[in-house]
């Protein structure tokens, strides 16, 4: 067994995490779900979502038969909704191509939507006790520091080096338990000891030969992402009031926030009154301009100008892809983070706004 593996396994047994809800199961579906939810979200946030999701969709067939809107609603608040869409798509593929049984080969698992090499490996380890290397964000940090690997881990060359180290560090042998404990140890170490800021090196089983620790470079490794200035865009979001309800529109399935419910969005230079007349067959009365809200995507920055308006005509509220809904109920829908923030801001805003006369 590699030097690092033995130390990590010993450490995990004594100091690792043992009571997370997805530990102790070998159900590949449950493990897959936990891995996907944990990709961009903290454990503490994930736990209630994970448990609720499994209550609604206990297996792959039930997930594949659900309306996507229900799945996205259960995901509401976790963000990165493409993860939920991919889960659904993958569940449909598993039902169609594998009779609802999760595939057992890494290559097949990796072909499913939303599953990369590391996630596929984690499923192989925890569901089937396979000898597979993982390399999620936490593990990249541990290996960058322990082996002293310079360079941003998002770069292919650096990532290749890290994968090589991940493969070399695996325990030998076929003990399923050994591979599972080792993989859990890496995850636990990254999450609880070798943290992004202020790692607890004095409690770390790898301290004696960790390059970053020896060279006092824990704050320099892994190398930070090179700074790039993102393009900026501006837009207007309309909070349209009809009595106590607001209007949400469903976004097209593809593109930004695909399939989510959103406040109506218009171009900055567009005339709001003319837009509402054309699209909603109503005149509107401006009530209030909320302060601009900034939101950063991976490839651009969006500055949103929220406008609160009240409709002043009777309108047809039964239009496809549109719902009039109480703000509190809207928060349970699958809505993007800035829309969530704006609705909360509106709910907490001055009563005088809420109590303005209604149609």
Is 142 a binder of ligand SF4 (CB under 6 A)? yes
Length in residues, the chain: 359
Is 139 a binder of ligand SF4 (CB under 6 A)? no
Nearer to ligand SF4, 135 or 193 (CB): 193
Give me the catalytic one of 35, 168, 249, 283.
35
| Separation of alpha carbons 198 and 204, rounded Å | 12
Nearer to ligand SF4, 199 or 338 (CB): 199
| Site track 232-271 with ligand SF4 (rule: CB under 6 A), x = hit | ----------------------------------------
Nearer to ligand SF4, 47 or 201 (CB): 201
Nearer to ligand SF4, 160 or 203 (CB): 203
Is 112 a binder of ligand SF4 (CB under 6 A)? no
In this chain, which stretch among 96-104, 126-134, 141-149, 311-319 interacts with ligand SF4, using CB under 6 A? 141-149
Phi, psi of 326 (to 5 degrees): -65, 140
| Separation of alpha carbons 62 and 74, rounded Å | 14
| Separation of alpha carbons 346 and 239, rounded Å | 9
| Separation of alpha carbons 64 and 16, rounded Å | 34
Nearer to ligand SF4, 15 or 207 (CB): 207
Footprint on residues 185-224 left by ligand SF4 (CB under 6 A): 193-194, 199, 201, 204, 206-207, 210, 212-213, 218
| Separation of alpha carbons 38 and 78, rounded Å | 10
Among candidate residues 111, 162, 106, the one with its CA nearest the CA of residue 138: 162
Nearer to ligand SF4, 31 or 142 (CB): 142
Is 95 a binder of ligand SF4 (CB under 6 A)? no
Residue count, binding to ligand SF4 (CB under 6 A):
14
Is 165 a binder of ligand SF4 (CB under 6 A)? no
Tokens for 36? 């996907």
Is 4 a binder of ligand SF4 (CB under 6 A)? no
| Separation of alpha carbons 307 and 59, rounded Å | 43
Is 146 a binder of ligand SF4 (CB under 6 A)? yes
Is 16 a binder of ligand SF4 (CB under 6 A)? no
- Give the nearest distance from C-beta 197 to ligand SF4 in angstroms: 12
Instruction: Verify whether residue 105 is a known catalytic residue.
Output: no
Among candidate residues 274, 272, 275, the one with its CA nearest the CA of residue 287: 272
| Site track 271-310 with ligand SF4 (rule: CB under 6 A), x = hit | ----------------------------------------
The site for ligand SF4 (CB under 6 A) is made up of: 142, 145-146, 193-194, 199, 201, 204, 206-207, 210, 212-213, 218
Q: So which residues are the catalytic ones?
A: 35
């Amino acid at each position: 067994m590699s030097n690092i593996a033995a130390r990590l396994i010993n450490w995990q047994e004594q100091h690792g995490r043992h009571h997370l809800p997805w530990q102790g199961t070998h159900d590949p579906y449950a493990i897959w779900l936990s891995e996907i939810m944990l990709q961009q979200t903290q454990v503490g946030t994930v736990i209630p979502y994970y448990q609720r999701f499994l209550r609604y969709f206990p297996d792959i067939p039930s997930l594949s038969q659900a309306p996507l809107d229900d799945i996205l609603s259960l995901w509401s608040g976790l963000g990165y909704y493409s993860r939920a869409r991919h889960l659904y798509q993958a569940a449909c593929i598993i039902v169609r191509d594998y009779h609802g049984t999760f595939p057992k080969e890494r290559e097949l698992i990796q072909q499913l939507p939303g599953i990369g090499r590391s996630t596929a490996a984690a499923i192989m380890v925890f569901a089937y006790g396979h000898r597979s290397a993982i390399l999620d964000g936490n593990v990249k940090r541990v290996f960058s520091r322990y082996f002293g690997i310079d360079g941003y881990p998002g770069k292919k060359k650096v990532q290749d080096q890290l994968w090589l180290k991940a493969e070399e560090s695996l325990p030998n042998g076929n003990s399923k338990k050994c591979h599972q404990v080792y993989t859990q140890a890496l995850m636990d170490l990254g999450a609880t000891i070798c943290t992004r800021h202020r790692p607890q090196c004095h409690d770390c089983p790898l301290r004696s030969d960790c390059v970053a620790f020896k060279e006092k470079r824990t704050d320099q490794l892994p190398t930070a992402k090179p700074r790039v200035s993102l393009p900026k865009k501006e837009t207007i979001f309309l909070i349209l009031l009809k009595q106590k309800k607001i209007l949400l529109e469903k976004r097209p399935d593809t593109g930004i926030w695909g399939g989510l419910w959103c406040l109506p969005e218009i171009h900055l230079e567009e005339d709001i009154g003319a837009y509402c007349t054309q699209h909603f067959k109503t005149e509107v009365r401006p009530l209030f301009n909320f302060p601009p809200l900034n939101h950063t995507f991976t490839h651009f920055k969006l500055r949103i100008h929220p406008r609160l308006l009240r409709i002043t005509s009777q309108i047809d509220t039964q239009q496809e892809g549109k719902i009039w809904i109480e703000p509190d109920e809207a928060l349970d829908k699958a809505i993007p983070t800035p829309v969530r923030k704006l609705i909360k801001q509106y709910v907490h805003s001055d009563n005088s706004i809420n109590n303005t006369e209604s149609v």
